Each structure stands twice: as C-alpha cells, then as structure tokens.
Amino acid sequence: MKVIVMGAGVVGVSTAWFLSRLGHEVVVVERAAGAARETSFANGGQISVGQSEPWATPGMPWQILKWLCRADAPLLFRPHLDPAQWRWGLRFLLECRPGRWRDNMRNMVALGQFSQQAYQDIHSAISFDYAHRSAGILTLLDTPREMREAGRRCRELAALGVRRELLDRSAMLAIEPALAHIAPTLAGAAWCRSDESGDVHRFTVGLAAEAAKQGVEFCYSTRINALLREGERLTGISVTGPSGHYATLGADAYVLAAGSYSPLLAASAGLRLPVYPAKGYSATVPICDDSKAPSVSITDESRKIVFSRLGNRLRVAGTAELSGYSSSLNAVRCAALLARARECFPGAAEWDKAEFWSGLRPATPGNVPLIGQSAITNLYLNTGHGTLGFTEGPGSGKALALLMHGEAPDIGFDFHKVKSA
Ligand SMILES: Cc1cc2nc3c(=O)[nH]c(=O)nc-3n(C[C@H](O)[C@H](O)[C@H](O)COP(=O)(O)OP(=O)(O)OC[C@H]3O[C@@H](n4cnc5c(N)ncnc54)[C@H](O)[C@@H]3O)c2cc1C
C-alpha cells in the first residue's frame, strides 16, 4: 500500500518508520525544510508515562479561574472571538468530570506503556544519539497537601501498572544531589524510575534519517494546501512544492499527523477535529558546572515546569497558553521559566545564554490523541498528543501502522473514529 504521511514531527516520522517496517511504500510531506521544526523541536524532553495525567482534572476549572489574571500562570486561557477555542473550552470542562478524567488517564497510560515497547523496538533495530537517559523522573512537591495528592496519584498509577513512589527529602537528594539548594523548601518528591528523557529534535531527525535509509521518501519544503475529497475517500492532497509550483499527490491511504495544524487541514475535507493549540515555552541553557546541574529529569509540579539534561545543555520547559496560533514569545512567561531554573540550580548554567523557544501543543480537551481511521475511509488520524507527544509518539506510530496493516495492536486504547463528516 502507498501511504502519504502529512507532517514530519515526532508523530508523523514514527508512523512513517513503523509503516515502512511493515513493508508499505511511504511518502512524508512536510512544509518545513527538515523534520521536527515545529512542536517537536525543543520540548521538555521527558518520556514520561508516570506523568500521564490529563490537564482536565476535577479541580482544574477552579484552578484556571484562580490563574486567569496572572501573566505567569502555568495554564492560561486567553479568550478570543474564535468558535473553535470556545468549543474546545466547553469540551475541556466536560472532560474534567471524574469519570472522563479517569478514562482519559487509563488511555494515556496504556498508550505510554505501548510507546515504551515501541521505543525498545526502535532501539533494538537502529542506533543513533539523541541524548537519551533512562534515569527516571523526579516530581518536586512543595507542600504536605501536594504529597498527599501525589500519594493518591501513585496509587491510581499503580492500579494501571505504573510504579511511582513518594520520597522524603533525603531519599530525593540521594537520587538528585543538585536539588540541595531548594530541598528545604520542598515537602518531598515522587519518583518514577522507569521514566526517561532525551532530545526530541535529535530523536525525530535521527529516526527520519533511518526511515529514509529504509526507503521512506521525504518531501520537505512542501506545503499541503488542502485534502481533496470525493464522497467517502480522499483522492489526493493539493500541495505547493519547493519551487512554488502547485501539484496533486496521491496514495492509497493518508495519515494526518500535522500537529496543531491538523484541524485546519481536516476542515478542508469537511472534518472537524477537537484539537486546539496550547502554546508552551522552553529555554535551553549551556551547563557550566556539572555538579550543580540535575542529572535526572525533573518536574516542578505546582509550577508545571520540567527540567531535562540534554548532554551539556539544560532544557527548561513548561506553561500553557490557550490563545490561538501565535507562536510569539511572551517575555513574562520566559522570565518565569528561567527564574525558577536559576532558583533551583544556581551556578549550574550560563543563564544569560538561554535560547528561548515556543511551540504549539496539539491539545485535545481530554489529552487523549486521535488515532485511527476517520470518517473518510482512507484518511487516518494520528494527532492531538498535547503534552505527551514525545512520550506517546513512537507508540502512536506503531499502533496506527499496525491498524492500517490490518493487525490489532495489543493495547487497551480507545482508537478514534470520527463520526461526523
Ligand atoms: C513547551 C513544551 C514542552 C513539551 N514537553 C514535552 C515533554 O517533556 N514530553 C512529551 O512527551 N511531550 C512534550 N511536549 C509535547 C510534544 O512536544 C508534542 O506533543 C509533539 O511534539 C507533537 O508532535 P507532532 O508530530 O504531533 O506535531 P509537530 O511536531 O508540530 O509536527 C507536525 C508537523 O506538521 C507540519 N505541518 C503542519 N501543517 C502543514 C501543512 N499544511 N503542510 C505541510 N506540513 C505541515 C509541521 O510543519 C510540523 O513539522 C511539549 C510541548 C511543548 C510546547
């Protein structure tokens, strides 16, 4: 079967790699000049099944209200006259109901665990350097209340097969001595030994290079303008190539993996997808004193900031802003990231050399990505990975490739089927 994969982020490239391993002819169409130039460029670097918790929790609506007026709020909703934003917001509120939240978490954990196996498949087939660390992830907890809440979450994750444990300060410091400076301000930490970290850009570019060796064709600098539909099938995609010429590309099947832009392309074929961009920021800073920099990846729970060691650089990432498609950098939010990093790890990095970046997480209201066949029979979806695209990307790619190949992936995940076209 010939398949066109739309988008060369971590999700599209993973899908292409697994499809090609199953013997399919694959063409990846990407508007940027290379792989992983959008959201899969400079994210938090965590491969974190232990963080499989949706934003939409029962307490979140109240929390968002409290954050509404804070420019440095971890999750910020900036209302626009945009029906897609309001529709998404309403669905988000519905996903906060306890039953939905639990179901979403179950799906996220199942996909994350399947993705861990998919990473193993990749590691055993090929080898390339992406600053990968299998050193676990620590979640910092400020207060006894956060410890109690994290304890509940550990039990919920344990029921789903993920081992995450609570640590007191000394056990936390034994794992990460670089936290010594802020340890007195913390109540403790949660520790997920099986979590990992790495550089998403290097991973995706490395996997794309391996996929190309396997025969996958990459059409870079090629913008998809519209999906061409006749009845219940796509007949092709209309593109503008590197030289500015229009063309139509055709295949037997199509995979939509265009991240936050997936709903815009889907709309051209009459499909409405509940995906909305949630902007986040990162700072990448050169490490100047190894002993003061963290060696394990860290999540600062209350500030929703993550720290990952990527070779000789420290990646600090976080915050979410529902404010449309602008990728402009907000100085207050960038400063908040860096201020917390300096506070946690003084002297570890050359803070004045920080490189800032923003990316648009393709977020669904319940944090569960849309994977599976759409109402257009030869169009498949692999999009909406929100906060966990690096964690779930290879698993999503493998699961969708198997489905398209006619095999049922061994995973307790609710695959998506869009009903209205
Ligand atoms: C600040 C921040 C921190 C994060 N931290 C983590 C983390 O620690 N761990 C984790 O698991 N996840 C994290 N994420 C989420 C993760 O980065 C995303 O879920 C993931 O990168 C999404 O991958 P994707 O392939 O779906 O989208 P993208 O990487 O955006 O890829 C989509 C591709 O489609 C292309 N495209 C779009 N429209 C068109 C068109 N019309 N024509 C041609 N090409 C098109 C784009 O150019 C792009 O290359 C973070 C995200 C952010 C913003």
Ligand 1 centre from 144 Cα, in Å?
Answer: 35
Pocket probe for ligand 1: among 17, 37, 201, 261, the residue whose CB has the most ligand atoms within 8 Å is 261
Looking at residue 420, its pLDDT comes to 45
Instruction: Show the ligand 1 pocket: residues with CB < 6 angstroms.
Output: 7-12, 29-32, 37-40, 43-46, 48, 200, 223-224, 257-259, 261, 265, 280-282, 306, 317, 359, 361-362, 383, 385-391
* Average pLDDT along the chain: 95
Q: What average pLDDT does the segment 79-95 reach?
A: 91
Query: Is pLDDT at 419 greater than 60 in this prediction?
Result: no
Pocket probe for ligand 1: among 367, 385, 392, 396, the residue whose CB has the most ligand atoms within 8 Å is 385
Q: What average pLDDT does the segment 323-340 reach?
A: 93
- Would you say residue 162 lies in a domain? yes
Model confidence band, residue 417 (pLDDT cutoffs 50, 70, 90): low
Domain that holds residue 182: 50-56+65-83+133-196+276-363
Tokens of 86: 């309001």
Looking at residue 78, its pLDDT comes to 81
- Would you say residue 138 lies in a domain? yes
- Would you say residue 182 lies in a domain? yes
- Would you say residue 225 lies in a domain? no
Atom of ligand 1 nearest to the CA of 281: 1
CB 296 within 8 A of CB 136: yes
Looking at residue 421, its pLDDT comes to 40
Angle at 320 between CA 316 and CA 321, to 5 degrees: 135
CB 215 within 8 A of CB 208: no
Query: Is pLDDT at 172 greater than 90 in this prediction?
Result: yes
Torsion angle, CA of 247/403/264/266, rounded to 10 degrees?
70
Query: Is pLDDT at 126 greater than 50 in this prediction?
Result: yes
- Would you say residue 418 lies in a domain? no
Q: Which of 30, 165, 162, 177 is nearest to 109 (CA)?
A: 162
Residue 168 has a CB neighbour count (10 Å cut-off) of: 12
- Report pTM: 0.97
Candidate from 14-28, 50-64, 88-102, 107-121 with smallest mean pLDDT: 50-64
- Would you say residue 247 lies in a domain? no
Atom of ligand 1 nearest to the CA of 38: 30
The count of structural domains within the chain is 1
Looking at residue 341, its pLDDT comes to 97
Looking at residue 416, its pLDDT comes to 82
- Would you say residue 307 lies in a domain? yes
Q: What average pLDDT does the segment 327-333 reach?
A: 91
- Of all residues in the chain, the percent with pLDDT exceeding 90 is 91
- Would you say residue 330 lies in a domain? yes
Ligand 1 centre from 268 Cα, in Å?
Answer: 21
357 vs 135: CA distance, rounded Å: 25
Residue 258 has a CB neighbour count (10 Å cut-off) of: 27
Contacts of 47 (CB under 8 A, 6+ apart): 115, 116, 119, 195, 196, 197, 198, 390, 391
Looking at residue 418, its pLDDT comes to 54
CATH number at residue 340: 3.30.9.10
Q: What average pLDDT does the segment 170-185 reach?
A: 97
Tell the residue number behind the tokens 């013997």, with chain if given: 23
Candidate from 154-168, 193-207, 237-251, 407-421 with smallest mean pLDDT: 407-421
